Structure 1
Amino acid sequence: MTLKTLDNSLEVLKYFNKQNPTWGVRELAKEMNISHSIIYRILSTFENHGFLIQNPETKKYELGLRFLEYGQMVKEKLNLSDFVLPIMKNLAEEIKESVFLTWLDGTDGVTVEIAESSQTIKFSVSIGTRTPLYIGASCKTIMAYLPEKRQMDIMDNGMEKLTSETITDPDEMLLDLENIRNQGWCFSTGEYSHSVFGLGVPLFNSKSDIIASLTIAGPEYRKPTEEKFLEMVKIIQHAAMNIQRYFDQYSFKFYND
């Protein structure tokens, strides 16, 4: 296998996401501007190894269970469920909203752990959800602490407007990121999903590099008042401090350089 073939193969996998979980050979070939015969060979190879499966009726491909296995291996390596999840569950119970741990991965934030609210109406996403760093409290909290060059590279790559509240102007975004750094938290409403608020705080590795964020999210109609908001900030920062202690202790596991 040549490096070009390997590069194309890995690029193919990136197209299987929450927005486009299934692809046919020709439609993916057209999207990637690559010969459909090449795409077919790549998809067939992934299918043979369990990374993709083909729907017998639609003939379209989707991610296979092999990724679930690898995802569980990564999760176990971090020991998130053993130590971090109990802290998140306690926070969700105290705040009465869902709590998310979002991990930095390239130019995206990936949801790696969730503690859902006990309330009937709640904001919910799936583990593995990938979101651009310029959207929403959980991701902008991370982006705010990245080096300026990485921030500019993310913005130069284009910023899609998911809702009317999504910030896509670079100057406005830089000002927003500066405010987040100065105050130590990010609050947003409706940027990622309509009528949803989020409050995120940063998490770092032992070298003070940003690696993740802890976020509270819920429906906009339960958005806290100014008085309750300040208390909410203190509560989530306390939970983040406990998680940060774990990260500091096991810093050898986190590679975000």
Structure 2
Amino acid sequence: MKGGTIIRTSAEDNKKGIRSVERALEIIETFSNRVREQTLVQIAQKTGLPLTTVHRNVQTLMKKGYLEQDERSGLYRPGMQFVRIGGMIIQGFDLVQKATPHLQRLAKMTEMNVNMSVYDNGESLCLVNIESFHNFGFEIKVGQRLPIYAGALSRLILAYLPEREFESLSDTFQTFTPITISQREELKKNIESIRIHGYAKSEGELQLGAVAYAAPIFNYEDKLEAGIAITGPEHFYTNKEKRDFYKKAILQTASDISKDMGYRKESRF
């Protein structure tokens, strides 16, 4: 009933509606942790649906954000709409559930702001934010997005993405402070350093006076799952002993979360 009017649908209409939903779900279910990107032909082969039907349904799913297409390869992959549809999805997200106890310990140990973000369509997307009791005032909120090159956490994620993600960046970078990296060559050198050392550091790039360390989380496929960061005022990093402590703490936390995500290699940390 809608607006006091009884809406009647025929059995045939109901059948068509149910079949449309079934087709959309069949397409979505062809993706998995091991098969994250596919062509239309591959989807059609797995579902047994006609290519034209797959194309029509995929276009609808893309409009709704449940699928997205890589501009370079043309391959289709699940979209972040699965994460965006509500706080319950984010809180139930396996990564968030496994990482949160470790991140809470890291926040208590360092007294810093702690964040965890993932890559989403050219940006970093924050999934976890634990604010320090010091109330520094420069935290990243859950759901907030940042350019993939700006700050330690975003740049850490960029460093472990395929090279094509770097190449797809615009030549013009948004700057948040005079210290924000704004040149491609400088950015390239920075992410190369991150890959060598296994962590990222930024000073005043998003907000003047804020210093951050970031480290990567890997999954059982040895692929980047997310990045985590601790952020605090520059006077918290006054000596080498303090800096070494923060760096060791975040690297160990990233290693512990990676193990919980099925990662077994030790060489990265």
Normalising by structure 2, we get a TM-score of: 0.64
Shift of 1:224: 4.3
Alignment correspondent of 1:121: 136
Alignment correspondent of 2:118: 103
Alignment correspondent of 2:216: 202
Change (3 A) 1:212 1:173: same
Change (3 A) 1:246 1:227: same
Shift of 1:121: 3.0
Q: Is the 8 A contact 1:159 1:168 kept in 2?
A: yes
Alignment correspondent of 2:168: 153
Equivalent in 151, 161, 167 of residue 136 of structure 1:
151
Shift of 1:7: 10
- For structure 1, the residue ranges without an aligned partner over 5 or more in a row are 12-66, 250-257
SS at match of 2:86: helix
Q: Is the 8 A contact 1:97 1:122 kept in 2?
A: no
Please give the per-residue CA displacement for 1:229-255, whole angstroms capped at 9, x wherever unaligned. Answer: 112111111111111122227xxxxxx
Counterpart CA distance in 2 for 1:187 and 1:141 is 9
- For structure 2, the residue ranges without an aligned partner over 5 or more in a row are 1-55, 66-81, 264-269
Counterpart CA distance in 2 for 1:68 and 1:193 is 28
Change (3 A) 1:116 1:72: same
Q: Is the 8 A contact 1:88 1:114 kept in 2?
A: no
Equivalent in 238, 242, 252 of residue 256 of structure 2:
242
Counterpart CA distance in 2 for 1:85 and 1:8 is 31
Shift of 1:221: 2.8
Q: Where in structure 2 are the equivalents of 1:177-216 lying within 5 Å?
A: 177-216=191-230
Tell me which structure has the larger Cα radius of gyration. 2
Q: Is the 8 A contact 1:98 1:122 kept in 2?
A: no
Counterpart CA distance in 1 for 2:146 and 2:97 is 25
Q: Percent identity?
A: 26
Q: Where in structure 2 are the equivalents of 1:1-257 lying within 5 Å?
A: 70-80=85-95, 82-156=97-171, 158-248=172-262
Change (3 A) 1:141 1:69: closer
Counterpart CA distance in 1 for 2:238 and 2:119 is 27
Change (3 A) 1:120 1:146: closer
Normalising by structure 1, we get a TM-score of: 0.67
Change (3 A) 1:128 1:83: same
SS at match of 1:197: strand
Alpha-carbon RMSD: 2.8
